[in-house]
Structure 1
Amino acid sequence: MATGRARLLHQHWLGVQALRLPLGGLGAIPGSIPGFRKGPGVQPAAASAPWRQHAPCERHRRKASPHCPVLLDSLPSEILLKILSYLDATTLLCTGCVNRRFYHLANDNFIWIRIYSTAFSPKRCNWRIDPVEKTVASMNSLSVEDKEAGYWKKEYIAKRIASVKAALAQILKLVNPYTGLPAKTKEALRISGLGWVIILKEKSGKEHVMEHADLFINHSSVMVVWYSKNWPCLATLSTLDLCGVTPVLMDWHKPPIKNGPRWPSLVAKYSLSNLTDSTLVGCDRFVRIFHLNPGLLVGLWKRAEELAFVMANLHFHHLVEKSTLGSATLPYELPPHTPLLDDSSEYGLHGYQLHVDLHSSGTFYLCSTFRNLFTKQGYIENGYVKLIVIHFQNSTEHLPLVGKVGLSWRTDVFDGCIKSCSVMDVTLLDEYGKPFWCFSSPVCMRSSANPSDGPYFVGPTYCIDYEDSTGTVHVELVWIEETEEYFIVSMVLYLSIAKINHWFGTQY
């Protein structure tokens, strides 16, 4: 009897050790995390390897011996369920990704109802009876056997996600009066464990998932960078999906588990067939960079015509919602806009505020705020309202750019800087202080002739242009040779009349 009990304990210990070994690598990428898994029963080859190392012993799985280690598949389901009952929720979710058998075992309602009851039991305690045990006992008898497998796992995950979303909404409620954006976006990013991945899809349907290599948090945007030595062949790729990923089970008191299960939220989808001359932004001796709207920069090696790096520029406006509240296939839909009443639309726009940043990888060339912007109703050109920020004729408004403007990039092999390129962050607030137009996008200075409606400037002139469905930004600059710096001598916004009418519910 003693020998049999010792053998059983030995098998139990071996099962625990075998169960722990492969879990560290699960959950990092689609196909091995629950958020990306298309269905149960898919067994990654890497995850199955530890149990296939002793192929000759598989014929004798039911006969354990000192010379043949006990395989996890040889243990009865009752023992495996007992082992799984000691795991926490995150490890249990990872265990369900091993194979079909473990998927079903890890869905056991009796295990999950205990986890659910421990996490969400009432705070008031009775010293005579453990509240968790009492709750489990009552729920066991009433609802466990009546529910389908995995019911209490889904309930637990749904409630945990709902609690995190509620906490994030509370954090993002406080608005910075100067920018009109959430004042605690950086804190929300930190406590949510939010990160970003890109999913490169081949024409054959194969997917490559890449974790970001660098991250820069700026005043009103986040710059996320990917680079690698093992990019897939560009000719085989069709699309690129940008997704935010957050831990499915977040513990506020602990850092997020690096390889734990995560929830994907599609932020934007891009077609890689658009890497043409029309989207070329700039180049240096190593790479050419292309801009895909919204805010994506793709760098290609000049000689090999292959991917060198990818850079995403994400504005703070609704960033957390877009990166956490969508799904793997559908982006988050913004709530419907309620038109703001504008009692003085016949007088044009007034009381607007603009914040502009020009930067690159943490280096800022311009950081300025312009208040009390206005325009009369007659300033309309081709369906756009003209809003002048910096006037040609008023030299006191002209602004210098600090330092030598250039877009810094790096990879595992090389790094460099593309001259005259940078990232522009724009936050335009309406007269009520609400974000009217927000974007973060790469831009490039290009040579231009001296403006016909402005003064003559000594030195070459350049322009920066950006355009989307809301409007256009046009900036004129002059290079001053004596001081070796650029001066902004004009900045004009062109706002779509359709956007203004939709925003205010008027007929401008």
Structure 2
Amino acid sequence: MATGRGAAAGAAGPRNRSRSFAARPGERSDAVNAGIKSLCLTPSTSPKAGLCVESLPSEMLLKIFSYLDAASLLSVGCVNKHFCHLASDNGIWLKIYSSCFQPKRTIWKMKSEQAETVSLGCAALPDRKPGYWKKEYISKQITAVKARVMRLVKPVDPYTGLPRKTKEAVKASGLSWIIVLEDKSGMKHVMEKAKLSFKEASVTVLWYSADWPCLGILTTLKLFGVTPLLPAHSRAPSRSGPRRRSLVAEYHLADLTAGSAAVGADKLVQLFSLDPGLLVGLWKEENEIAFVMASLHYHQLLERSTLGSATARYALPPRQPVGDDVDPEYGLHGYSLHLDVHGGSCTSLCGTFRSLFCRKGDIADGYLKLTVVSLKDNTKHLPLTGTLGLAWETDVLKGNVKDCCLMDVTLLDETGKPFWCFSASVHVKLSSKASGLYDYTGPIYTTDYADSEGKVCAELVWLEETKEYFLVGLVLYISTTKVNNWYGTDY
């Protein structure tokens, strides 16, 4: 039971606090700062109910909330229903809305050609439902960000057929990527610390940490695109603010260490591939996660990373066949390929190949064959610069897995539209067949990739004198099912 002195102090408390809010506009008094700081605490954990934030009068909480920015208000509104109601106050949000968008209305006078503009004030409050200006502010912010991003992705690179300013668009939208690991008990581990590396056709995301959960208890790995609900215009998005998640891909870790999935190793780590485009590095001695790497192709990257939900991936809208002017000699013609081979940090090969075609006689086993680089035509043979390998790093260690790399394939149709695009890890392995090349004396190496839409088969020769690979053969096999769905044909 409170003593007389304590009761007197408690009775005087509200009056003292109310006087402490009389600060000059734009400034925060000590009491307000203390009140805002106390919001970070969990109200229900306070041992004395009379001292918790929830016990403050609504007028006092509204005063505290009035000093918060939009992102902080949205976070406070997630505490409980009472806070959500107060943090949606039209008066607070109208002030934020007006300071950001400066809404005006024009009053025309009968005897004057001049217009008098007055800002929206208290007159706009009574006729609006609770939370109206909050919704208006969020809607207008999202619209502004979308418009800014669309302006950036509109220019198209003539070589790749992809948006030229994807890196700038990612920054403008505040987009980042996280992975969520779920264990057998249902507990989720969120990994956010990542390093980005932008290439001409893809972005490589590397997650590294000293606190990976034990591999033996993990069941699934989910890759999400994350965007702030209210992207900041002048600073990096806060990880603690309200954000939206878009599921990009989901992987099951039960088959992670299967022998067929291993793509390379060095002295410290062994790499395992999870399609599409994910690499998991495991410490050799401990068989635990060292890092996770994702290679994300630019084609529809923003849509896949922002328009999905936390439980479902973004579904492409139904596509109508474009129709094909069937040529009596060719099955496909006028195609272009942009190929990038890189190791995460450095690029080994970057080239564009045009005027690709497939004769109808080359259609076999459900695939249309596009020969990009021929063994017989040495004028198209290309060197791979630098050391072919995949660079990785953690908090304290770095390494490079030799003969393993990332391949970005961007195949454009005859109209220049992206037709088949992917980014994946590939492993270069020694071929068993004897070399039949007269221009090269080194051994032949091969690398392959396959998915539901097609296959890529490449041949390289190693030149011991110059210590480099030469690309001497490259063939793409496109699924006839994909071609028929694209054109409405019947190959």
TM-score, normalised by the number of residues in structure 1? 0.85
Distance 1:108 1:467 in 2: 55
Match of 1:360 in 2: 343
Cα 1:353–1:74 shift into 2, 3 Å: same
Q: Equivalent residue for 2:263? A: 281
Q: Distance in 1 between matches of 2:448 and 2:290?
A: 25
Shift of 1:87: 2.0
Unpaired segments ≥5 residues, structure 1: 24-46, 62-70
Letter in 1 for 2:375: F
Q: CA deviation at 1:502?
A: 0.8
In 1, Cα distance between equivalents of 2:414 and 2:228: 38
Does 1:477 pair with 2:460?
A: yes
Which residue identity does 2:74 align to in structure 1?
L
Distance 1:373 1:100 in 2: 62
Q: Is 1:20 aligned to residue 36 of structure 2? A: yes
Shift of 1:286: 1.2
For residue 195 of structure 2, what is the aligned residue in structure 1?
214
Say yes or no: does 1:308 pair with 2:301.
no
Distance 1:75 1:269 in 2: 45
**Which residue identity lines up with residue 385 of structure 1 in the other structure?**
L
Match of 1:8 among 10, 18, 29: 18
Matched, 1:372 2:355: yes
Deviation at 1:101, TM superposition (A): 4.0
CA distance in 1, matches of 2:444, 2:88: 66
Deviation at 1:81, TM superposition (A): 1.2
Aligned equivalents of 1:358, 1:444: Cα separation in 2: 11
Note the alpha carbon deviations across 1:147-186, whole angstroms, 9 max, x for none. Answer: 5xx4543443234223322332233222222211112212
CA–CA separation in structure 2 for the residues paired with 1:123 and 1:227: 49
- Residue 304 of structure 1: CA displacement? 1.4
Deviation at 1:381, TM superposition (A): 2.5
- 3-state DSSP of counterpart to 1:17: helix
For the pair 1:444 / 2:427, whether they are aligned, the reply is yes
Kindly indicate whether the alpha-carbon contact (under 8 Å) linking 1:450 and 1:457 is maintained by their aligned counterparts in 2. Answer: no
User: What secondary structure, in the 3-state scheme, does the structure 1 residue paired with 2:414 have?
Assistant: coil
Alignment of 1:251-262 (within 5 A): 251-262=232-243
1:166-177 to 2 correspondence within 5 Å? Answer: 166-177=147-158
1:88 & 1:4 partners in 2: Cα distance? 25
Distance 1:4 1:18, change over 3 A: closer
Matches of 2:270 and 2:197, distance apart in 1: 22
CA separation in 2, counterparts of 1:496 and 1:458?
A: 35
Partners of 2:228 and 2:241 within 8 A in 1: yes
Is structure 2 residue 280 aligned with structure 1 residue 294? Answer: no
Q: Which moved more, 1:453-462 or 1:372-381?
A: 453-462
What's the CA shift string for 1:113-141, capped at 9, x where partnerless? 544455455445668774221xx423x22
Partner of 1:30: none
Aligned match of 1:142: 127
Question: In the alignment, what sits opposite 1:459?
Answer: 442
Whole-angstrom distance in 2 between the partners of 1:122 and 1:191: 24
1:337 alignment partner in structure 2: 319
**1: distance between equivalents of 2:363 and 2:86?**
67
State the Cα distance separating 1:298 from its structure 2 match: 0.7
- Contact 1:248/1:261 (8 A) holds in 2: yes
C-alpha distance after superposition, 1:393-447 (max 9, x if no partner): 1222211111111111111132211110010011111111010111111111011
Residues 123-134 of structure 1 correspond to what in structure 2 (within 5 A)? 123=104, 130-133=118-121
For residue 142 of structure 2, what is the amino acid of its counterpart?
A: I
Counterpart of 1:44? none
2:205 to 224, 232, 246: 224
Residue in structure 2 matched with residue 48 of structure 1 by the alignment: 41
Q: Distance in 1 between matches of 2:301 and 2:215?
A: 29
Does the 8 Å contact 2:49/2:55 carry over to 1?
Answer: no
Measure the CA separation in 1 of the matches of 2:193 and 2:252.
20
Amino acid at match of 1:244: G
RMSD: 2.7
Change (3 A) 1:99 1:2: closer
1:79-119 residue CA offsets vs partner (Å, 9 max, x unmatched):
10122123221111122234554334323344335444554
Aligned position for 2:180: 199
How far did 1:451 drift? 6.2
1:322 pairs with 2:304: yes
Where does structure 2 lack aligned partners over 5 or more consecutive residues? 1-10, 23-28, 108-114
CA contact (8 A) 1:196 1:212 kept: no
Deviation at 1:262, TM superposition (A): 1.6
Q: Return the alpha-carbon distance in structure 2 between the equivalents of residues 384 and 453 of structure 1.
A: 26
Please identify, of 71-80 and 298-307, the stretch whose mean Cα deviation from structure 2 is larger. Answer: 71-80
Task: Look up the match of 2:112.
Answer: none
What is the aligned partner in structure 2 of residue 112 from structure 1?
93
Once residues 214 and 341 of structure 1 are traced to their aligned partners in structure 2, the CA distance between those partners, rounded to angstroms, is 42
Name the CA distance, whole Å, in 2 between partners of 1:334 and 1:297: 25
Q: Work out whether residues 51 and 72 of structure 1, in 8 Å CA contact, stay in contact via their aligned partners in 2.
A: no
- Letter paired with 2:18: L
Q: How many residues align?
A: 466
Amino acid at match of 1:353: S
Asked whether the equivalents of residues 118 and 132 of structure 1 are also in contact (C-alpha less than 8 Å), the reply is no
Cα distance in 2, alignment partners of residues 217 and 436 from structure 1: 22
Q: Could you tell me whether the CA contact under 8 Å between 1:375 and 1:387 is conserved in 2? A: yes
Map 1:257-268; keep pairs closer than 5 Å.
Answer: 257-268=238-249
Separation of aligned partners in 1, 2:349 and 2:12: 78
Residue from 410, 414, 417 that aligns with 2:397: 414
CA distance 1:303–1:151, change in 2 (3 Å): farther
Q: How far has the Cα of 1:211 moved from its partner? A: 0.8
CA contact (8 A) 2:463 2:469 kept: yes
Name which of structure 1's ranges 342-351 and 387-396 shifts more when overlaid on structure 2: 342-351
Identity %: 52
In 2, are the aligned partners of 1:48 and 1:98 still within 8 Å (CA)?
no
Given that residues 98 and 120 in structure 2 are in contact (C-alpha distance below 8 angstroms), is that contact kept between their aligned partners in structure 1?
yes
